[in-house]
Chains A and B, each alone.
Chain A
Amino acid sequence: MLLTLTTTAEPATDLGFLLHKHPDRVQAFPVSAGTAHVFYPQADPDTCTAALMLDVDPVALVRGRQGNDGFTLGRYVNDRPYVAGSMLAVAIGSVFSSAMKGRCTARPELVDTPIPLTVHLPTLPCPGDGSMIERLFAPLGWTVESTAVPLDPEFPEWGDSRYRDTTLTGVLRLADALTHLYVLIPALDGSKHYWIGPDEVEKLLRVAAGWLPGHPEKELISRRYLAHRRSFVRSALERLAEADDTAVEAIDNAVVDPEQDEQDEQPERREPLAVLRRGSVLAVLRAAGARRVLDLGCGGGALLRDLLGDPSFTEIVGVDVSSTALALAERRLHLDRMSEHKRARLTLRQSALTYVDGSLAGFDAAVLMEVIEHVDEERLPALERSVFGAAQPATVVVTTPNVEHNVRYETLEPGRFRHTDHRFEWTRAQFGEWASGVAERNGYAVRYVPVGPDDPEVGPPTQMAVFSR
């Protein structure tokens, strides 16, 4: 909501010419989010400070979106009116547009002169420990000083907020400084671009054409724009989360957003294991001679893609309880332009493994790849009933993490699960006990296959049970 821009270039009051805003006046400009005010708390020959204050209308903010935005509480109690986020960036672009383009008829010689500048952003949102501010601004010639704002001084145990009181100093052309702020503030802000229109996002990125290509973090910057250009229409799940005073991320987590996938800090650790796992599952299915296969809990459809690639699988049904997952699978597999012949082999449908579903009966094989650990242990008998008791495929392949192997992951804190939604992670003995019970109760034989390097001490990272009847 607030940005101050200070220069000590002499005479400092030339800042008024550069910004096209008179130092002794208070000016108001209507912008899309509300009203932007420009005034000068200080205007001396040796120091001059311009302040841009964005007055966001919180009620209008909500009302303007009602038509296509659905209702969620986050829209009403939100930080937008108080932070230096994308709305402030849009205001910079609107109020200082001439300055940003480097136009100054009164003092044309000033435009190309780097001047000493100090930018103060008291509430700059930034993910993580704040180092991203340094990573984004330092390569452009800024010195960054920033301290975290605590969430609530009365509850020190809550820790810091994601806002940082930030001061940038440097000697730069004013026009460059403004484009830096214009582009990098929304990149830091991250999650909230749905407050501004998609066309404005394009505009933001276009402005950076001069310096972004040479920026060492250019990929990070572009990605943070794309990652958060989410649909305006939020999910029904969001409303259910709200009914429960829960963040939507806590329940709408059936699949990881593809863009967030890319953001994953260590994708190299997980990727090859997932590939190995799918390979092992496919090998087992081929060995069993399965042709009609269920992928129960198909998620984003990685295994479906592999199954489609092998014509010996004549009928493939991807099942997931999450509509988000099914939509993602549909997108990733490009169902809309898949050849008719291939398309005919695949069906995607929503179902839940804790309910009996008659249409899943009669298949050669069912795969539950990294699925059971997402089901509460108390609900496993229901899953057992619906898969082994009712659907009764000839072969069932189940994979799940081997918790013993977790000690081999250096980045995983001891005692933590590999995924926040995991309800349990089992040792080989625990998995064996469950699997043999299932087999005995339902008339299956079971064998175990390690997936990934079988560590002599702690076993493989993934354990797999193959049931057959």
Chain B
Amino acid sequence: MSILRIPDMALVVLVGASGSGKSTFARTHFPSTAVLSSDTFRGMVADDENDQSATQPAFEALHFVAGKRLDAGRVTVIDATNVQQSSRAPLVALARAHDVLPVAIVLDLPEAVCQARNVERPDRDFGPHVIRRQRADLRRSLRGLAREGFRRVHVLRSVEEVEAARIEIEPLLNDKREERGPFDVIGDVHGCRIELEQLLGELGYTITRDGADRAIGAHHPEGRRTVFVGDLVDRGPDTPGVLRLAMGMVAAGDAFCVSGNHEQKLVRSLSGRKVQVTHGLAESLAQLGEQDEEFRKQALEFCDGLIAHYVLDGGSLVVAHAGLPERFHGRASSRVRSFALYGDTTGETDEYGLPIRYPWANEYRGRATVVYGHTPVPEAEWINNTICLDTGAVFGGALTALRYPEREIVSVDAQQVWYEPARPLVPDAPSPREPDVLDIADVTGKRIVTAQHHGNVTVTAEQSAAALEVMSRFAVDPRWLVYLPPTMAPTATSTLPGVLEHPQEAFGGFRDAGVQEVVCEEKHMGSRAVVLVCKESGARRFGIDGGGVVVTRTGRPFFGSELTGELLDGVRAAVTAAGLWDELATDWLLLDAELLPWSAKAGGLIREQYAAVGAAAQVGLGAADGVLAAAAARGVDVGELAAGIRTRVDAATAFRAAYRRYCWPTDGLRGVQLAPFQVLAAEGAAFHTRPHSWHIALADRLVEADPVLFKRTATVVVDTTDERSTAAATAWWDELTGAGGEGMVVKPMTNLTRGARGGLVQPGVKVRGREYLRIIYGPDYTAPSNLDRLRARKLGTKRSLALREYALGIEALDRLARDEPLWRVHECVFAVLALESQPVDPRL
């Protein structure tokens, strides 16, 4: 039995004459979906598998499908004769274009076997000369297959060999996904042995030494392992010492090492090829010259055997010397290797004559953390989940390590400037920090956002399109817009007479979901506001030198910049007075609040919609009442009609009273109040797992600090299993809404809560007052005939939407707390806005 090894993701090209048994072979060894047969594609495009005139379109379709499979990294088998170089060349090109390895399996069976098999097949009516010609082509090709670019060539020469063959898919050399860490990734060492030993010490490794007191290995007591990003050699004072230590660690399984461009050049030089002895190569050659022949040989072998990049920890960590875009992760081709070693350049050079690097990391949107070196930076800094650890140790900077998965930076300063840099390590004029760049591809089209607490949330292309318009034309800078509040579902519809919503159903609903303790928060009728306030400036955290923002549910600013500034001054002063900056160890704070009065923002809507309807109702119904009275006076029987109109006149009066309660004049900020009810996030923390009692207590302290600007939110804590407790809360709600209040929101006290079946429980449901609902359902909604029909409302869509938006909101906050790239936060915020464009009954 012979084993044919196929590298993972490979494009397997079968080569063999008609009748050599390619299809049978493919069927035997590969899943049918992995096999693309030219016959099948001929059939697909021309209804006849043997229609040679359809060959070209058939191959175009086949290449297209193969490309899609290779994009996804799936082993793909091409079942066609492929006996001519001209038919194989596009397949090799296809493999290269997808950075996978092309492999050939040649079925070089005797002509008699092929001829005999073809005779048995009635659809193959071509003469024997065809197979003869194909075999001649094949034999001519055999020798050149490797040169054509096939990285493995397996040749099977007899029926027995074919039958005995077994296929084994083997992982690529860069595939270390089974290595789970933890790791300490170390930046460019460049012969700085002293600093390396120091850094390993800092990281907790114990260094082992040989008789000559030379470091030959390092082991971490907790089994942590080192990953070197390459460029161990050149420029520095002790390249052999660094190599000896690294080689020892790699051999003992204490370290992995990827190749740097300097190792590559050293290998070529040591192997006797002509290279320019520049950029510190001379130092390495001199130092190695002092070592014995055996060490030089080992060093050469070590450097020559280094892999250009590793994929570690189940695919979550990628280490490559010069970084690597996602499409190259785990792939194998010369351009992948070249990128990993040398990076990409724009083709331009800077004032020091050094090539300008293409900023691939700015565009990086991949899932894996990418760690690299190669280009000295003053400080290791995260860019879109990638980080460069080359802090120029050899140039007098520091040697830096990243502890993974902890994401902690550990570094030791260089002892001295070991080598003069061509370009100053710290530029004279600090280049302004690259602004976080959002790409249109981050938000448009159909998108699936993974929210940790809820799974995948889908946003349709139409929803994104609507959100894009609002986001880009009206919303504040996305760097400020780190959160949008979710919509909230009302309580289940009440069956009690005269009301549509009642606390009873809310308490019952939470009880049924397994929530015992809930908090009822007074609902202020205003406009939802998200307040981001900075202690001094948002420059450090948000990249904007400003005091913060106060935005609406769709991310629009409430006020112009002057009033916003004034409002934020008030908030800032209260936060300071309440001592929250220190307590939460932060220099910014994100608050969820209601901004009052409603008329401050919704003035136009109130006038054009509510007041207008009220005016029309009162005048129209009043006139009707008058003519009906006149008709009645002359003895016409209008009794029922007149009574109906009088009820409606009262309803119109009540309607006007309902909206008037939420309107009062404001002048600038005079009359404007904020009622905060949740502290959403601060530096490094999101607070959706803190109980609501904590949130309300903090809010109360802000009210205490500035009772004019801040409005208190009254609360009642309820045990949903205790009838007295729910009755007391119901009485409270009756009082609240009887006095014209909007109603209340009932929330699980523990905040983020999972139900019995593991799904999220509604983060809150609103229970709105009878009078308030007139503004929503119209003046006459309380008429029994209307109410009965309105009770048929369906809450499913609204409840599902509320949960999805809630999950996206806290996902945004979690990502913000983890200091993830802007696009990752923005993706969630954008999705909340997009979902808001979903059609849902707006009365809910």
Contact = CB atoms under 8 A, between A and B. Distances in A.
B217 interface: no
A26 B641 CA distance: 10
Given A59-B786, A158-B607, A158-B611, A41 B630 contact: yes
B778 A77 contact: yes
Interface string B459-471: 0001101111111
Interface string B615-648: 1110111111001101100101110010010000
A77 B656 contact: no
Contacts of A240: 466-467, 470, 554, 833, 836-837
Interface stretch (A161-169, A340-348, A425-433, A452-460): A161-169
B466 A235 contact: yes
A77 B631 contact: no
Contacts of B552: 244
A318 to B, nearest CB: 16
A254 interface: yes
A2 interface: yes
A77 B776 contact: yes
Contacts of B613: 77-79, 82
B562 to A, nearest CB: 13
A378 B480 CA distance: 12
Given A79-B616, A162-B612, A321-B472, A247 B604 contact: yes
Contacts of A353: 472
Most chain B CB inside 10 Å of its own CB: which residue of A76, A158, A244: A244
Nearest to A350: B465
Nearest to B599: A155
Nearest to A43: B634
Contacts, number: 234
Interface stretch (A98-106, A270-278, A379-387): A379-387
B473 A374 contact: yes
Contact of B843 (A73, A120, A382): A73
Nearest to B657: A154
Contacts of A51: 627, 631
Contacts of B441: 357-358
Contact of A77 (B437, B610, B621): B610
Q: Is the interface of B mostly helix, strand, loop or mixed?
A: helix
Contacts of B440: 351-352, 355-358
Contact of A151 (B438, B611, B620): B611
A74 B641 contact: no
A70 B607 CA distance: 23
Interface in A380-428: 381-382, 385
Contact of A71 (B554, B631, B776, B839): B839
A104 to B, nearest CB: 23
A251 B611 contact: no
B553 interface: yes
B780 A155 contact: no
A40 B527 CA distance: 48
A295 B842 CA distance: 37
Given A243-B553, A243-B554, A151 B615 contact: yes
Nearest to B790: A59
B557 to A, nearest CB: 9
B162 interface: no
B466 A323 contact: yes
Looking at chain B, what size class is its interface with the partner chain? 35 or more
A322 interface: yes
A159 B190 CA distance: 78
B641 A37 contact: yes
A322 B841 contact: no
A149 interface: yes
A41 B786 CA distance: 29
Interface string A197-240: 00000000000000000000000000000000000000111011
A4 B627 contact: yes
A160 to B, nearest CB: 9
A15 to B, nearest CB: 14
B556 interface: yes
B384 to A, nearest CB: 13
A1 interface: yes
B631 A39 contact: yes
Contact of B616 (A43, A161, A355): A161
Interface string A127-140: 00000000000000
Contacts of A356: 437-440
Residue picked from B435, B474, B786, B840, most chain A C-beta under 10 Å: B474
Contacts of B631: 26, 39-41, 51
Contacts of B611: 151-152, 155, 158, 161
Contacts of B612: 79, 151, 161-163
A321 B473 contact: yes
Q: Is the interface of A mostly helix, strand, loop or mixed?
A: mixed
A250 interface: yes
A239 B663 contact: no
A162 B609 CA distance: 11
Contacts of B598: 245
B383 to A, nearest CB: 15
A365 interface: no
Contacts of B93: none
A94 interface: no
Contacts of A82: 613, 616-617, 619-621
Given A58-B786, A150-B615, A247-B605, A242 B466 contact: no
Interface in B543-575: 552-554, 556
B161 interface: no
Interface string B765-783: 0000000000111101100
A123 interface: yes
Interface in B423-475: 435, 437-444, 462-463, 465-474
Interface string A62-100: 010000001111101111011100000000000000000
A37 B639 CA distance: 13
B605 A123 contact: no
B74 interface: no
A250 B602 CA distance: 12
A152 B466 contact: no
B498 interface: no
User: Max chain A CB contacts within 10 Å: which of B472, B598, B628, B636?
Assistant: B472
Contacts of B469: 237, 251, 254, 321-323, 352
Nearest to A123: B620
A372 interface: no
A72 B842 contact: yes
A432 to B, nearest CB: 23
A70 B839 contact: yes
A225 B775 CA distance: 30
A126 to B, nearest CB: 12
B477 A382 contact: yes
B617 A251 contact: no
Nearest to A359: B440
Contact of A149 (B463, B616, B638): B616
A97 to B, nearest CB: 22
B553 A323 contact: no
A374 B665 CA distance: 30
Contacts of A76: 776-778, 842-843
Given A76-B777, A322-B473, 11 more contacts: A4-B627, A76-B842, A76-B843, A82-B620, A149-B619, A152-B615, A240-B470, A245-B527, A323-B469, A355-B438, A356-B438
- Name the 4 nearest CB pairs between A and B, nearest first: A41-B630, A352-B472, A236-B466, A122-B623
Interface of B: 435, 437-444, 462-463, 465-474, 476-477, 487, 527, 552-554, 556, 598, 601-602, 604-605, 607-617, 619-624, 627-628, 630-631, 634, 636-638, 641, 644, 656, 660, 663, 665, 775-778, 780-781, 786, 789-790, 833, 836-843
23 contacts: A41-B628, A51-B627, A53-B627, A63-B789, A73-B776, A82-B621, A150-B615, A151-B611, A151-B615, A161-B612, A161-B615, A237-B469, A239-B839, A240-B466, A243-B487, A243-B836, A247-B605, A250-B604, A321-B469, A354-B438, A355-B438, A374-B473, A382-B435
